[in-house]
Chain A
């Protein structure tokens, strides 16, 4: 049973560019959340997708956008990259939207902005 898979593993971009990160949820899960983890910090919630719609959003600018596909996979897009966007981006999936549903995380995508 495959867990949460993310691609790519690592990515290097230049300031001002745009990036797309991808996530496939664990089998049986329909809800996908994205988190940003800066070096030495805990993960911070970006947004959550369910039924192909953004259901909740953390304190991130509109440069961060996403999408969920009918097969529940998801993409995170970041436009006009800043040096401060360098971080580990974690995707998490869960079986439902309930607040007590344990999240299953992927290995993350390490984004470096130069």
Chain B
């Protein structure tokens, strides 16, 4: 069965610090997708990135970057020069080809608090 583990429950940083959110996943499927979502206090889950299991290239989008390593089943997310607006709960999620219908398995989330 698939599983996503986000070991960090809460992280507190001061503005402009870099921060890395960890995500470890388990799956028996060879074809799968990994996602990161951001959940601000409003409750809406905001899609950040999708990565398929065949593409291990790291990706950078502005201050955000993602490191996907199949060898360690990890998909870590780094925010460079954090800002107060980055404060939110971040979820890592997995969908498998076997699921067939776009269902996501989420981790428990990491709450990021960025103070001025």
Contacts and interface: CB of A to CB of B under 8 A. Distances in A.
B106 interface: yes
A107 interface: yes
Interface residues of A, number: 32
Contacts of A107: 42-44
Contacts of A56: 99-101, 103
A48 B95 CA distance: 14
Interface in A87-104: 88, 90, 92, 94, 96-104
B47 A104 contact: yes
Contacts, number: 77
Contacts of A55: 101
A70 interface: no
A88 B89 CA distance: 14
Contact of B102 (A33, A41, A42): A33
A84 interface: no
Contacts of B42: 107
A99 B97 contact: yes
A66 interface: no
Contact of B99 (A31, A50, A99, A104): A99
Contact of A108 (B44, B97, B104, B105): B44
Interface string B1-27: 000100000000000000000000000
